Amino acid sequence: MEKQHAVITGDIISSRKVDVQKWLPILQQSLQYYSNNFDIFRGDSFQIAVPIEHCIEAIFLLKSTMRTVQPLDVRVGLGIGEISYLDLHIKNSAGDALINSGEAFDTLEKNFVGVKSPWSDWDETTTIMLQLATELANRWTFNMAETVSMTIKNPSANQRELAKLLNRKYQSQISTELGNANWHKIKIAIDYCTKELIKRC
């Protein structure tokens, strides 16, 4: 099998309600956390090639960081497949990963996340799990979103270190915010879907 790649296509919900200079740097920083091969186009749409092992986690990093600028949010389509031509600009690249990503995004309707890969069984299970996970994530407050974002970006940090990074007075605030955000449940879904994807790649 050809090497499989992951491409995320997305847009920012309610982008016109907030000054672009307030949220664009935050979006760029989130994208750069995983890859420099991304494009932002049409003002509030983006596309990025991400490592397979981080592609689902990346969805929730994008969601958590954008939800720190209320009332913003993201909708994303994740595509898995080969890339027959990889340009320095992902929008100029070609292959099934890009096609699948665009198709997953185009079929979102009122959902926040969709996936398309060469494996329909993985697509079905992952779509159900991620749509349930994003329903939980849609309830995040500013503090919850900020804490989830910092947790994803600092996977080896303990709660004391996270509290310091976030300027929280008490370490216990971190566990409370992650608990209220249902982060541990969401993380189980991320890890399961990622593990099943890596098996196939």
Report domain extents, the chain.
Answer: 5-120
Is the CB of residue 75 less than 8 Å from the CB of residue 113? Answer: yes
- Taken in order 78, 82, 87, 88, the sign of the CA dihedral is positive
Answer yes or no: CATH 3.30.70.270 is held by domain 5-120: yes
What is the CB neighbour count within 10 angstroms for residue 96? 21
Is the CB of residue 12 less than 8 Å from the CB of residue 27? Answer: yes
What is the CB neighbour count within 10 angstroms for residue 137? 24
Look at residue 45 in the predicted model and tell me its pLDDT. Answer: 95
Q: What is the pLDDT of residues 153-197, one digit of tens each?
A: 999 999 999 999 999 999 999 999 999 999 999 999 999 999 999
What is the CB neighbour count within 10 angstroms for residue 178? 19
Q: What angle do CA 115, 140, 53 make, to 5 degrees?
A: 35
Look at residue 87 in the predicted model and tell me its pLDDT. Answer: 87
The maximal CA–CA distance of the chain, rounded, in angstroms, is 51
Instruction: Provide the angle, in degrees to the nearest 10, between the axes of the packed helices 20-32 and 55-66.
Output: 160
The pLDDT profile of the chain, 201 residues, written as one tens digit per residue, is 569 999 999 999 999 999 999 999 999 999 999 999 999 998 899 999 999 999 999 999 999 999 999 999 999 999 999 999 988 889 889 999 999 999 999 999 889 999 999 999 999 999 999 999 999 999 999 999 999 999 999 999 999 999 999 999 999 999 999 999 999 999 999 999 999 999 999
